[in-house]
Amino acid sequence: MPSAADGALDLHFDVNETIMLGDPAGGDTYEESLNKTLAKVAFVRPSDTAGRFGKWEWHDGSPLDPAARTAGMPPPPLLPDAWDPPAGCAAFYKVPSLKSAHAKSFAYAGSPGSIYAAEHEALREALRWPADVPRDPRLCTEDGYYTILPAFFHTLSSLHAGERPYSVVIRTFGEDLGRVAEALEAFAGGDHPLWRGQRFPALVLPASRI
């Protein structure tokens, strides 16, 4: 394995809710994890008046309660690139009362995040296994979604195409490293539908390195 002294890039990835949706160790299903992902990039700010969901409003000042929004009002922009909250704001997921009641069902009816139902469906569609490709259990969930986020494999294929040496460390608090290793082996062997026939033999994870 290359060392930092060689100019290598060392990348560390968590598994659950980072490269894989769903968190068996935390008791979250694939759908619950997807809802939590949206709740983490939707921002709210304190409101002067109390509503059905407490003294909170969206970061753009619009009502948190979907019933209080005017017809046709677009949802506030999600802020996936906001590493720090906008001034005076907090992620929906970071507000205890909102998180406990709605994070796992964020985009469903009855939640303030139901205004993001279209975004939720777009994410589901992007993660859906191609309908014209037989399901590969190493890469596809029982519900027909990619087991590992395609973005992770995009990262690996880009690193493989570059000249800089790199190493990848994958960690988890659960028992899913075996499943990750199977997915990596399938990808490295050219079996992923988005990289069909492209092989990355250096990315096969042998049992001795788990």
Evaluate whether 130 touches 139 at the Cβ level (below 8 Å): no
Q: In this model, does residue 127 exceed pLDDT 50? A: yes
The yes-or-no verdict on residue 126 having pLDDT over 60 is yes
pTM reported for the whole predicted model? 0.86
Mean pLDDT across 113-120: 97
Strand spans (E) along the chain: 9-14, 43-51, 54-58, 90-91, 166-171
Q: Cα angle vertex 186, ends 185, 189, to 5°? A: 85
| Whether the predicted pLDDT of 7 surpasses 90 | no
- Name the percent of the chain in helix, strand, coil, to the closest 5: 40, 20, 45
Residue 2's pLDDT is 47
Interval 36-49 mean pLDDT = 96
Instruction: Tell me the helices (H) and strands (E) count for the chain, helix number first.
Output: 5, 5
Predicted confidence (pLDDT) per residue in 130-148, tens digit: 999 999 999 999 999 999 9
pLDDT interval class at 185 (50, 70, 90): very high
Phi-psi label, residue 30: left if phi above 0, alpha if psi -120 to 50, beta otherwise: alpha
Supply the angle between the helices 117-127 and 30-39 in degrees, to the nearest 10: 130
Tens digits of residue pLDDT in 46-81 = 999 999 999 999 999 999 999 999 998 999 999 999
What average pLDDT does the segment 162-170 reach? 91
Alpha carbons within 13 A on the beta-carbon side of 140? 17
CA dihedral sign, ordered 75, 22, 149, 163: positive
pLDDT band at 207 (very low <50, low <70, confident <90, very high): confident
